[in-house]
């Protein structure tokens, strides 16, 4: 049993060690934090898309729900930031439970409906009439509990959790049942798989990871606005990272996020117009010629991708 998990666990340990020791040699904690953020988000999206085939264009809705859930717990309930991060994750799960009926849809219908749901949540949070709770469009200030180092290592913990979760799904009967549903729902159902239950669990696990990410992000940045944590760029970046690296693997989304976010940081920030063009072309190439990402190339070269 452990032998089956060993390659995936090795990847988890390498990534964890990398971000644990990098701050000692690379003096740009903000870049490392954002890198971990997108690595974790990519793994979270991988749970629902890689294992079930549902592509949530509005994945950022869970991210925003987690950020605001944690922030409200801190500002109104005076809960410690560490506990608030976990609460943020469960706020995203609650959002996922509300949106479970969307799983009755498929393909583009699901993607568009999910996108609309995330934007509806954004409008609710940004509503000035809720200023006493969410601060409306004026942003939330968590500077009273700001702690960059604590936020950084909390994000590292979230990343490790997300990778372990995908590692489990990659090598467990539950993950295999999801892949069976993805390939042929009717055959999986006839084989005894509870299709509705399995998809719902994957949906909520994916939401939980995004909520933890949003909560950790809100704590680390101290001040954020609805337009920041509900920005569609979060969904777009995460989707591209997962597609580029390869779905339903632990290493695939990590490869995509490490390569593309590094490229964005060094090129896209200074020349965003060219980078957006590059991203658009990259999505077209991925969809047409490399739907399974870099992982498919490695597999053709007889390289095992955990």
pLDDT tens, position by position, 51-74: 998 989 999 999 999 999 999 999
The half-sphere exposure of 246 on its side-chain side, counting CA atoms within 13 A, is 16
Mean pLDDT in the chain? 89
DSSP one-letter string for 179-206: HHHHH-HHHHHHTT--HHHHHHHHHHHH
Which residues lie across from 224 on neighbouring strands?
A: 140
Most distant pair of Cα atoms in the chain: their distance: 58
Least confident of 4-8, 30-34, 114-118, 255-259: 4-8
What pLDDT was estimated at residue 207?
A: 97
pLDDT at 3 over 80: no
pLDDT at 46 over 90: yes
Compute CA distances 251 → 42, 235, 295, whole Å: 11, 19, 8
Cα separation, 270 vs 213, in Å, equals 26
Band (272; pLDDT cuts 50, 70, 90): low
What pLDDT was estimated at residue 90?
A: 97
Q: Say if residues 32 and 19 touch (Cβ distance below 8 Å).
A: yes
Cα separation, 241 vs 189, in Å, equals 31
pLDDT at 1 over 60: no
Cα separation, 197 vs 97, in Å, equals 12
Beta pairing, strands 223-224 & 140-141 = antiparallel
pLDDT tens, position by position, 214-248: 999 999 999 999 999 999 989 988 988 898 888 88
What pLDDT was estimated at residue 302?
A: 59
pLDDT at 293 over 90: no
pLDDT tens, position by position, 169-194: 988 889 889 988 888 888 888 888 88
Higher pLDDT among residues 133 and 39, named by residue: 39
Instruction: State the DSSP code for 46.
Output: H
């Amino acid at each position: 049993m452990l032998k089956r998990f060993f390659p995936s666990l090795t990847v988890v340990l390498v990534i964890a060690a990398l971000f644990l020791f990098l701050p000692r040699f690379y003096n740009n904690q903000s870049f490392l934090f954002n890198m971990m953020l997108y690595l974790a988000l990519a793994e979270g999206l991988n749970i629902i898309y890689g294992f079930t085939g549902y592509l949530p264009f509005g994945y950022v809705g869970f991210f925003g729900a987690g950020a605001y859930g944690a922030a409200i717990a801190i500002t109104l309930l005076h809960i410690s930031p560490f506990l608030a991060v976990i609460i943020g994750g469960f706020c995203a799960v609650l959002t996922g439970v509300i949106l479970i009926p969307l799983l009755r849809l498929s393909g583009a219908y699901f993607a568009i409906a999910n996108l609309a749901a995330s934007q509806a949540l954004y409008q609710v949070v940004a509503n000035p009439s809720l200023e006493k709770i969410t601060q409306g469009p004026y942003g939330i200030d968590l500077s009273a509990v700001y702690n960059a180092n604590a936020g950084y290592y909390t994000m590292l913990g979230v990343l490790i959790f997300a990778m372990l979760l995908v590692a489990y799904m990659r090598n467990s009967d539950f993950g295999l049942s999801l892949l069976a549903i993805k390939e042929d729902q009717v055959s999986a159902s006839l084989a005894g798989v509870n299709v509705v239950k399995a998809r719902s669990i994957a949906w909520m696990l994916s939401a939980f990871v995004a909520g933890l990410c949003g909560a950790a992000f809100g704590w680390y940045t101290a001040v954020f606005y609805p337009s920041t944590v509900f920005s569609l760029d979060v969904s777009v970046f995460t989707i591209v990272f997962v597609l580029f690296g390869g779905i339903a693997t632990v290493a695939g989304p990590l490869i995509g996020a490490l390569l593309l976010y590094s490229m964005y940081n060094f090129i896209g920030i200074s020349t965003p117009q060219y980078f957006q063009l590059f991203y658009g072309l990259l999505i077209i190439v991925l969809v047409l010629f490399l739907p399974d990402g870099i992982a498919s190339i490695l597999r053709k070269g007889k390289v095992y991708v955990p």
